[in-house]
Every structure is written in C-alpha cells, then in structure tokens.
Structure 1
Amino acid sequence: MRLIAASRPAAGPGSPGPATRARDGVRAAVDRSRLTVRRWVELTPRQQVRALRRYRWTALVLVLLGGAGGGLAAAAQAPVYRAEARLLCSPNFPTNDVRQLDTGGNYILQRVRSYTEVADSAEVAAAVTARLGLPWSPPELPNRVSVTSRASTAVLTVVVEDGDPERARDIANAVADEIPGYIARIERPTGVDRSPVKVTVVRPAVAPESPDSPRPLTDVGLGLVGGLVVATATALGRYARDPAVRDSRHAAEVADLVLLADTGPVSPVPLSPERMADRADELRQVRTNVRLQAAGGPLTSLAVVAPTAGATAAVTAAHLAVAFAQAGDPVVLVDVDPGRRWAHELFGVGDDAGPATGLVDGSPVRDALVRWRPELPLHVLPAGPAPLGPDRLATLVAELRAEETLVVVVGPPLLSDADTLLLVGATDATVVAARVGSTDADSLATAVQVLRRVPANLLGLVTVGRPG
C-alpha cells in the first residue's frame, strides 16, 4: 500500500479538484448527449431504415421481450369483472304542459352531473354493505363503485368492478336500487312530500361472463408495440451515436469531396473475373468519374489512401485498376503497405518479390510484376517481404509509368503512417477511400484536411459498403 500511495502523483496547486472533475465529466456527458440528439435529428428516412436493419436482432429481442412482458403482466393480474346498471332521471310532477316538461328536463340535465358526485355517498354504501353482508366497511365500498353520466343525457351508469362476477352484479343492482330513494330524499323541497326528480332503473346489471381485465391479447399487443417503440429508439440511438460514416452521401459531406463511386458491399477476398463482370457497370462509372475529375491534368499515377487501417484502400485500388484495365489501359497496381500486403490476397499472386526488390539488387522492377489475367493488361506488384523506403517511392513510380502505364499505388493508412504523404506527393492524383459503417467520420475529415495541406490533387471519394 505504501508503494501505491508513493507512486500516486500529489495534487498540486493547479490540479483540478473532485468538484471540477465531476463538473467536467457532466459537461462531457451533456455534450455527447447533444451530439447524439443532433445526429438523430439529422437522420434521413433511408438512414433510419438502415439503422433498424443494422440492429435488427437487437430490435427483435426487444420486441419479443415487450410481448413477453405484456403476457407476464396479464398472467400476474387477478381477474376483475365489470358489471353495469343504468338509471334514467325524469321529471316527477303531473303535467301535460310541454313547456313545463321542457323546463323540468333542463333542470334534470343540470342536476345529473351532481348526482354522479353524491350517488356513491356513505349513506348508499352503508345500506348496500348491510344489505349484501359485504366483507368491507362502508367507506371501502366506493373504491369499487363509480357512477358516471354522458354529457347532455339524463342517464346514470353504475359501474362495479370486483373479482367475483356474481358479487359485482349484486353490488351494482343494490347501488342502483338505493340511488332513487337517496336522490328523492336530497331533492325533495322542504314542506313537499314528493321529489321533483324520478330515478328509475332501466337496465339491471347481469353477471359478466368474462373478466374485464386482464386481457391477454391486448396486453401482449401493447407489450409488442411498446417493445417496438423501445427497439426503434434503441436502434436509432445506437446508430446516431456511431461515429462511423453512415452512407456514401454522409461520407462525401464529411470529407467535402466529390463522390466518385459507391461500390456497395464488398469483402476483401480474392478477386475473380466473374465478380468483376458482375460489377462491370459500376467499374465503368468509377473509371468515367475519375477521368472527368482528372480532366486537364496528367493521370499517369494514382494514389489510393484511407484514413485508418483496413482493406478499404486496397479494395478500392483493386477496383480502379481493374476498371482501367477493362478499358484497355495498361495498369500496374503497386502495394507499398508491408504491414498487411493486401494485393497478395486480393489478386491471389505470389508475394516473394516486392517494390523494394529491384531497387535493392539492381534488377528491373518490371521483373517483379505479376500479370493477373492474360486477357487484361493488368500487372500487380505485391508489397513483398522487404519494406520500400519512402525516398525510393518516387523512383519506383517514375520507372513504372515511363512506358505510358497507369500506376495505381495503395499504401498504409494515412493517419497512422506519415510515409503515406510521400506516396501522395509521388503521384499525379489521389483518391480517398472510406468504408460505410466502419470509417470514423472525424478521422475521414482529418485525413482530408491533412491531404489538402500537402497539397494533394484530390480527385474525390470512393465509398465501400459493409461486407455482404
């Protein structure tokens, strides 16, 4: 314990105290929440659908849990039966005068709402409790009884909820029987032996055949709906918190670059003529877009870079190389990323020799080139076992493009290897590659800012989808 205490740095005069650290932590949490909300609001309908698809299994589990929760809640509830009795309030005086009847009717309509407030009084409750021998005290009975009325009607509805259907019926009928006498007593004017209001039971209560609650199907349905709402919010929230670029349009906005192509879902597996044939239209489009962006300037060498590690740059470079080779242009793809050596895997070629081989032993670099397919003018120069010094990259590129060959070079990730900037400087133009759902948006923006300071001849952005 002494060693731990001794190794802990002492708090100096300028060190933040616990209150300051707590305040900074709260501020950071608030900032993250605001960022998440802003990203959530910015989601397009297409991105929302993509969020649900990405987290579909999580969403499915939450929906099923909601349905199961609704079912368990229904099973845990004791059945409650609902019995109703209805009463009609009418004028209680002998007359054939329509005006008097109309006046009496208006008087009753004004009084009916008051009856709903007093009909479950202690007097009525005591009479019903004594009459039925209920196991509750009179003050407890109003908790199970409610008297309601519809607007502009003279009908009172007595509603009773109880766990026993017969008892619910009996209580409703007993309350309905007691209400007319109670209202007659409180409405009878002093010195008059008859109340101006007559209350009649028009529909006695009957024992309900099924409980009013729980309703398993309804509860399960509500649980499923609630689970769907939670699942949707969870999926959108996770998608909004994801720092990666959401789609090709989002990536282009973050990078502030022209979108050259969106290659869709691809996997870093060995390429084949069949795979490339399926993407013929896509490759033709990216080739056309690159040529349009490079119009007016030389295009004998092309660097493909990605902000962070992965196969994104290598896959993009391979597609570009194949696209130009399919148009009949001689192409050499050079892999100068010895850390991963992607060209070896993508094109299924040997990796015994690399860019540094010829520059070390004096043999021509073209001796190390491997032709990928006889029908395409595409050669591959894998990374090889020996790394290529950054000072020799320009010499290599110059030697390869001397014979009117387009050189496509893929190097290490830009933000983790500064030598990639030398690669950019040794080529005519640069294409930035990003993987949708994987490349960090901030890293992409930072990488483009670095390239603009070089400066690099940025042609645009190519996005790669998630592996299909």
Structure 2
Amino acid sequence: MRLSGGFLPAGAPSPPSDTSRHTTGFRGVVNRTRSSVSQWTQLTPRHHLQALRTYRWAVLALVLLGGAGGGLASLLQTPTYKASAQLFFSPNFPTTDIGQLDAGGNYILQRVRSYTEIANSPGVAATVIDRLDLPYTPEQLMLRISVTGKASTAVLNVEVSDPSPERARDIANAIAEEFPAFIGQLEKPAGINTTPVKVSIVRPATAPSSPDSPQPLNNVGLGLAGGLLVGAITAITGYARERAVRDEHHAVEVAGLSLLGVVKVNTETPVLIADNEQSVRTETFRQMRANVRLQAVGERLTSITVTGCPAGDGRAATAANLAIAFARAGETVVLVDGNLRNPEVHELLGISNEAGLANILRGEASVNDAVVRWRQDLPLYVLPTGRVAPGPSERLFRPDGLAKVTEALRRGQAFVIVNGPPLLSDAEATFLITATDATVVVARVGVTHTEQLAATVGVLREMRANLLGLIAVRSTKK
C-alpha cells in the first residue's frame, strides 16, 4: 500500500457533519428554486420518458381525472343550439352605367363593417323581442347574437345561440327580416323615398337538429389532453426535483467521474457472484475489474478503497463482489471491512466477526490471526471489522496502527480492497482513503442524493485522492 504520502494532512478539509440541512428563509427558497430550474434544464428527452415512466400512475390518474372532468362538464352544461341566417347587400337604384354600379358596390363594401354593429344593436334587439315576445332584455339578447362579415364581401352572417333550437331559428330570421328597415332609415337620403342599399335574405335560418354545445366527445378529449399535459408537467417537475440520482448517467454527471460499471440488483438474484460464473452480474464485475485496471494503467495499484454516501448504496456487496472478481482472475485478494460503525462484510460472506481490524488496531491480535480465507477454491482472504468497543471508532485509526496493518498486507503480495465507511459521516474514511492507492465511489440510483454524491467527490478531490471512477447500483424487477 502507499504509505509514503502519510495520512490526512494538516489543513485538509473535514467531511461535513450534516449535508441535509437546508437554508431557510427567502434565500433558501431562491436557492431551491434555482436548483430545481437548473435540474429541469439538464433533463434530456430520455429523462422526460423516464419521468413519465416513473410517475406513470400519477399521470394516468390525472388523465382519467381530466377526461372525467370534461364529461361532467358536458353533463352539467345546458345544451345550446345555434342558427344562422345570411344577408346580402347590393345597390338599389336603376342604372345600366357600369361606373355607377361599381361606385355603388364600393360604397356598400365600405359600409358593411358598420352594418355588423347595427345588426346587433339595442334597437334591433328590442324590435325582435317585441315581435317574438322573448323573455330577454335587449342586453341579454345581444349577448346571444353574433354578426360577422367576410372582408371585401357584401355578405353578413347572423348567428344566434339559444337553449331552444326553434327560438334560435326564429330570432335569426326576425333579425334578417327587420334589418332592412333599419338600413332604410339610416341610408335613405333626404327627399328620396327609396334607399340606395338593398338587403336580401340569401339563406334563412333553420332549426338546428343537434346542439352546438356541449360537445361531449370534444370536452372529454380536451379533458384527457389537459390531464396528460398537467400529468406530464407534474411528472417532469417531480423528476427534476428528486434529490436522488436518476440513473447512472445522472450519477456520472453529478460526480464528474468515469463510469466503471452498472450493477443491477433485485430480490431474486444472489448477492454474491461466487457460485455462478455465467451470470450477467458476474460478467459485469469482470468488466469492472478490467476497467479498474485500465483506469490505473501506468500507476502502482495494490489497494483500493470503495466508498460512497450514507444511504444504503450497496457498497459492501459491491466491494465483496469486486474482490471475488479479482480473485477469480488468479490474484490474491484481501477484502478489508473498514466500516467499523456498520460492519457488513462478515454477514455477506458468512464468517465470524470475533477478531478483525479493530482487534488488530487495539493490539489484541495480529494480522495473521485476524485474516481468514473465505473459500479454498478462491485466493480470497477477509479481514472483518472485529469487535468494536464503545466510544468513537475513529480513535482506532491512528496512523501508526493502520500503517502496521497495511505493511503486513503488503508483505503478503495481496491486492487489498477496503470496504470503506461513508465519507460524509465517518471521519475514519479519510484515513483509509489516504492509506490506499486509489478510490472507487459507489452511488445507488434512486437512493443516493445528488448533493451528497457531489459533496463526497468534492472532499475526495480536495484530499487529492486517486479517483478511478464510479460504480452505479440500480434496482431492477428481475
């Protein structure tokens, strides 16, 4: 092992004691909002699809809710029928002079826009109400009338909306029939009995057979589309605001490290790869073993520390399987459990934890007494944590005591893999990292928080640790 560099140098950064605290107040809100926006902008189309998949049940619920809302709105809405009549305006004077006809036509085109306002005026509305004995005021009736005209044409369309199809028809026809009299009053020159503008009904209104609104299919469709839009925004927003790394690519982006491999775990697959040389997970660790060697080409590599974040990232199982992969390649390997506060290696490998690293550091046992061979068919030896006495465990990691352990393992010509404690919560992790040649970081998809991963790698970089890369652990169904 590399001991010449010493242990944690003076002035080296200490791991943060609590990375989960959030700034409160206005600044905290601004920081969290800025962080969410930043994470949103980093999402790719692949992330969007993953967000929809992750929140698919919430999206489905919002889609169904939107469709149900559209259907309910259709049921509660009073049916409205729309009837329309069409009017045509032309010059009303006898002449064969094309110039006069052209001038008269231009005059009418200029006036048509004004006619749209007159057709839907209080005077016309009051006359129609009196004629049909309608239960509306002029203002209420005007809200039901729409008069439109196409540009550069002498045609007006009068549309009337009403809960009764027959009444909508009668109102539209009444307006069309009463409107010429209003035009005559307005356009008739003084001293002349005829108006220069003729109003003709070219298409009388008929009673509509189906309501114009509501349209259940359209409303349900809009509700489904709106629910999908809200669901997609909710899913992507929630996905962007997740504190845990989303996938191995996201973990690599956060850490800024090379990806050594992706470990897929599930409840049906054995934790260790020792008994199945043909499994996909076995091949994954073989590839990671090769990647570790490739990352350290040209460097002296006799020991590595596997560390991570305090979040159940599968660090111990990863270190154990990596040790098995190296042992299967014919190398003598010593797997050291340096996580004194939460020992796991002895349980994974099914060995005793009566004597181990802690006993050696306290001077109660030698390295040869504490190291045990795991299986006879593999050159893999294990140094568990041993019995840890009450009190701060970091007191055991004195430079002189750890130096004796590493020197003894070096003399055995073994490749040492250390299952290190989480760097941000256990100070002794810094001593293990500086006592080994290189460091591998483990992050679990959906579990490891991005800020913790970034802080862990940041501390390692300030310690000038030799970072080989990152191993991502991802849960799968099978």
| TM class, shorter-length | 0.7 to 0.9
Change in CA separation of 1:309 and 1:354 when aligned onto 2, cut-off 3 Å: farther
1: CA distance between counterparts of 2:190 and 2:75? Answer: 55
1: CA distance between counterparts of 2:34 and 2:123? Answer: 59
Question: How far does residue 465 in structure 1 lie from its aligned partner after superposition?
Answer: 2.3
Aligned residue pairs total: 443
Does the 8 A contact of 1:313 with 1:410 survive in 2? yes
Does the 8 A contact of 1:52 with 1:232 survive in 2? yes
What residue number does 1:81 align with? Answer: 81
Shifted more, 165-174 versus 419-428: the winner is: 419-428
User: Is 1:390 the equivalent of 2:397?
Assistant: yes
Question: How far does residue 71 in structure 1 lie from its aligned partner after superposition?
Answer: 1.8
1: CA distance between counterparts of 2:320 and 2:198? Answer: 93
Find 2:417's aligned residue among 408, 425, 444: 408
User: Is 1:287 the equivalent of 2:268?
Assistant: no
Change in CA separation of 1:368 and 1:111 when aligned onto 2, cut-off 3 Å: same
User: Is 1:141 the equivalent of 2:141?
Assistant: yes
Does the 8 A contact of 1:309 with 1:412 survive in 2? no
User: Is 1:181 the equivalent of 2:181?
Assistant: yes
Give the SS at the match of 2:436: coil
CA RMSD of aligned residues (A): 2.8
Question: How far does residue 98 in structure 1 lie from its aligned partner after superposition?
Answer: 3.2
Change in CA separation of 1:365 and 1:198 when aligned onto 2, cut-off 3 Å: farther
Question: How far does residue 264 in structure 1 lie from its aligned partner after superposition?
Answer: 4.8
Change in CA separation of 1:344 and 1:93 when aligned onto 2, cut-off 3 Å: farther
TM-score after normalising by structure 1? 0.86
**Alignment deviations for residues 171-230 of structure 1 (CA, whole Å, 9 cap, x no partner):** 111111111222222122222222222111111111112111111111111111111221
What residue number does 1:15 align with? Answer: none
Does the 8 A contact of 1:351 with 1:383 survive in 2? no
Does the 8 A contact of 1:301 with 1:397 survive in 2? no
2:301 is aligned with what amino acid? L
Shifted more, 104-113 versus 170-179: the winner is: 104-113
What residue number does 1:369 align with? Answer: 373
What residue number does 1:194 align with? Answer: 194
What residue number does 1:299 align with? Answer: 301
What residue number does 1:169 align with? Answer: 169
Give the SS at the match of 1:289: helix
Shifted more, 309-318 versus 108-117: the winner is: 309-318
2: CA distance between counterparts of 1:98 and 1:280? Answer: 96
Q: Which runs of 4+ in 1 moved over 6 A?
A: none
1:463 is aligned with what amino acid? A
2: CA distance between counterparts of 1:275 and 1:117? Answer: 86
Q: Which is richer in helix?
A: 1
Question: How far does residue 304 in structure 1 lie from its aligned partner after superposition?
Answer: 0.1
Identity %: 52
Change in CA separation of 1:167 and 1:338 when aligned onto 2, cut-off 3 Å: same
**Alignment deviations for residues 290-329 of structure 1 (CA, whole Å, 9 cap, x no partner):** 1122122222221100022313322332342233234333
Change in CA separation of 1:448 and 1:107 when aligned onto 2, cut-off 3 Å: same
Shifted more, 104-113 versus 358-367: the winner is: 358-367
Higher relative contact order structure (alpha carbons within 8 Å, sequence separation ≥ 6): 2
1: CA distance between counterparts of 2:265 and 2:189? Answer: 87
2:178 is aligned with what amino acid? E
What residue number does 2:9 align with? Answer: none
What residue number does 2:471 align with? Answer: 462
Q: Note the 1:31-180 alignment, pairs <5 A.
A: 31-180=31-180
Change in CA separation of 1:173 and 1:236 when aligned onto 2, cut-off 3 Å: same
Does the 8 A contact of 1:109 with 1:152 survive in 2? yes
Shifted more, 264-273 versus 108-117: the winner is: 264-273
Question: How far does residue 262 in structure 1 lie from its aligned partner after superposition?
Answer: 3.2
Question: How far does residue 105 in structure 1 lie from its aligned partner after superposition?
Answer: 2.2
Q: Note the 1:211-222 alignment, pairs <5 A.
A: 211-222=211-222
Find 1:428's aligned residue among 422, 429, 437: 437
Question: How far does residue 401 in structure 1 lie from its aligned partner after superposition?
Answer: 4.6
2: CA distance between counterparts of 1:450 and 1:356? Answer: 25
2:284 is aligned with what amino acid? E
Does the 8 A contact of 1:355 with 1:396 survive in 2? no
What residue number does 1:355 align with? Answer: 356
What residue number does 1:4 align with? Answer: none
Shifted more, 416-425 versus 27-36: the winner is: 27-36
2: CA distance between counterparts of 1:104 and 1:378? Answer: 106
1: CA distance between counterparts of 2:284 and 2:98? Answer: 87
User: Is 1:270 the equivalent of 2:271?
Assistant: yes
Q: List runs of 5+ in structure 1 lacking aligned partners.
A: 1-23
Change in CA separation of 1:270 and 1:283 when aligned onto 2, cut-off 3 Å: closer
Give the SS at the match of 2:148: strand
Change in CA separation of 1:384 and 1:163 when aligned onto 2, cut-off 3 Å: farther
Does the 8 A contact of 2:371 with 2:383 survive in 1? no
1: CA distance between counterparts of 2:257 and 2:330? Answer: 28
Shifted more, 194-203 versus 433-442: the winner is: 433-442
Change in CA separation of 1:280 and 1:92 when aligned onto 2, cut-off 3 Å: farther
2: CA distance between counterparts of 1:283 and 1:363? Answer: 28
Give the SS at the match of 1:191: coil
Find 1:314's aligned residue among 311, 316, 332: 316
What residue number does 2:16 align with? Answer: none
2: CA distance between counterparts of 1:262 and 1:363? Answer: 33
What residue number does 1:17 align with? Answer: none
**Alignment deviations for residues 366-389 of structure 1 (CA, whole Å, 9 cap, x no partner):** 663322x84x54444554554784
2: CA distance between counterparts of 1:380 and 1:362? Answer: 14
Question: How far does residue 440 in structure 1 lie from its aligned partner after superposition?
Answer: 2.0
Change in CA separation of 1:420 and 1:146 when aligned onto 2, cut-off 3 Å: same
Give the SS at the match of 2:279: helix
Change in CA separation of 1:281 and 1:367 when aligned onto 2, cut-off 3 Å: closer
Shifted more, 221-230 versus 318-327: the winner is: 318-327
Does the 8 A contact of 1:308 with 1:413 survive in 2? yes
2: CA distance between counterparts of 1:351 and 1:150? Answer: 92
1:390 is aligned with what amino acid? F
2:72 is aligned with what amino acid? L
Does the 8 A contact of 1:270 with 1:345 survive in 2? no
Question: How far does residue 251 in structure 1 lie from its aligned partner after superposition?
Answer: 2.6
